[in-house]
Amino acid sequence: MIRFRHRALVCSSLLFAALICHVRAQSIGLPWSGHGHDAQHTGLSQVSSKAMQRILWQMPVDLAPQYVGTTLYAHYGSPVVTRQNTVIVPVKTGAGDGFRIEAHDGATGGTKWQMGTGYTLPAHNWVPHYGVALTPKNRVCFADAGGTVSYRDAPDAGTGGTGKMVFYGMASYVSDSATFDANVRINTPITTDRYGNLFFGFVVTGVTNPALQSGIARIAEDGTGSWVSASSAADDGSILRLPHNLAPALSNDHKSLYFAVMDGNGFGYLLMLDSRTLQTTGKVRLKDVLSPVDDARMLDDGTASPMVGPDGDVYFGVFEHSWGVNHYRGWLRHYDKTLTQAKVSGAFGWDHTPSVVPASLVASYQGTSKYLLLSKYNNYAGVGGDGHNKLAVLDPNDTQADGVTGATVMKEILTVLGPTPDDEYASVPGAVREWCVNTVAIDAAKKSAIVHSEDGKVYRWDFKTNSLIEPLTLTPGIGEAYTPSVIGVDGTVYVIANAVLFAIGEAVP
């Protein structure tokens, strides 16, 4: 449970055909390779998930979770799952720092191997994501000390080749590793493209040689590195870096790279770069939906990442300009693939990456869009909201008036209210526990989504009946971190609750 109050705070047939090709290319036979499943962060899987009837196995993802009361001020990165059903999990080992990578058999939970890292976190409030990425060549890549990336080959075997890659050059790192270790840190999940090239954000806090500035890095499949500073990419000297937790996203043809950058106040741009050269090819200043003048904010305690839809449109969650005017929900900004056309936005977005829901999964839908979006849809009690914390399936091309602000926002197609009353806000009529998801796994085969709540339970949201089914209790329901849901290659469901990864499946026959 992460409570917001603790946060300081039509389409043509061609498009339809493209969507089907996209779904097949992204999902069928492919592993869960990183944040939001794929390089576009769609969360969309064609694997039919198992009925959620029991916990198959579990393991801690934090060996020293630091609670404040019942609140856990941490975010945990997504596990990845290989074609051979090996689950690769980042594990926090110390109170304030320390990480290792663990590989587990997806069927039994048995440990296959472990690998330590020298990674240390950047300055933060909530513990940021520490993520791993799985390349198409079955190489596991993860952040290490000094802005380096370490890797493990043959992840399904007990032994495998290992190595390190450095975006600013191995010779430079070896010549002065202590300086780089102290001053350069990766601060985002790693995204891999279809060729095995890696992309990630990094922060620089001191002088290095060569002179680095915070920005975005690319490491090619052959280990060749390149980078560009955030300020240079935005052509704005006030820009400092990428927000923590933001996983860069790639266009469907993998030629364009999308990410956001911000200044010291959290204001900034959504950028599009050539994924091969890191040359800027598009940018848009991120604005509040309520005003074309006021900038939207980005927060390091949020977990929003860009998501690229099957038609190339780009979605990115931001916070509102003036604190609380939208009940601290932020907005889901929406642009065309060139970032030159702003389209209708969603009413919630600051701490969530939306997932793609093919319109065919929602039988009740009568509109013309070929895909819809699933978004967390909290309306926090205690900060002006009614406590009616929901999930929503939204039409990205149709509109309605927002009930809070009156702004024109994406039309709600389905919504579902959290099922558990919020005892802390018993005086607020209808207040329920909020949803603790930052990306949601979409089960296309069963026309549903896997979601978990701060009430300590995981649910299947059935789009056919618009109901929450298969509830399974994981924890008593305490201060959870916002975390992803994942569907493995054999249909096992994975969610993180109370700093523990749970593997969920069917009851014993």
Measure CA of the first residue to CA of the last residue in the chain; give whole Å: 33
What are residue 307's phi and psi, to 5 degrees? -125, 135
> What is the number of domains present in the chain?
1
Q: How far apart are CA 353 and CA 440, in angstroms?
A: 8
Give the position of tokens 């197609």.
413
- How much is the mean pLDDT over the chain? 93
Position 344 scores a pLDDT of: 98
Q: Which residues of the chain have pLDDT under 70?
A: 1-29, 479
Position 70 scores a pLDDT of: 82
Contact by Cβ (8 Å): 503, 62: no
- pTM attached to this predicted model: 0.94
Q: How far apart are CA 479 and CA 481, in angstroms?
A: 7
- Quote the domain boundaries for residue 83: 4-505
Q: What is the DSSP string of 441-454?
A: EEETTTTEEEEEBT
**3-class secondary-structure state, position 206:** coil
The pair of structure tokens assigned to 486 is: 């994942």
CATH no. for residue 364? 2.130.10.10
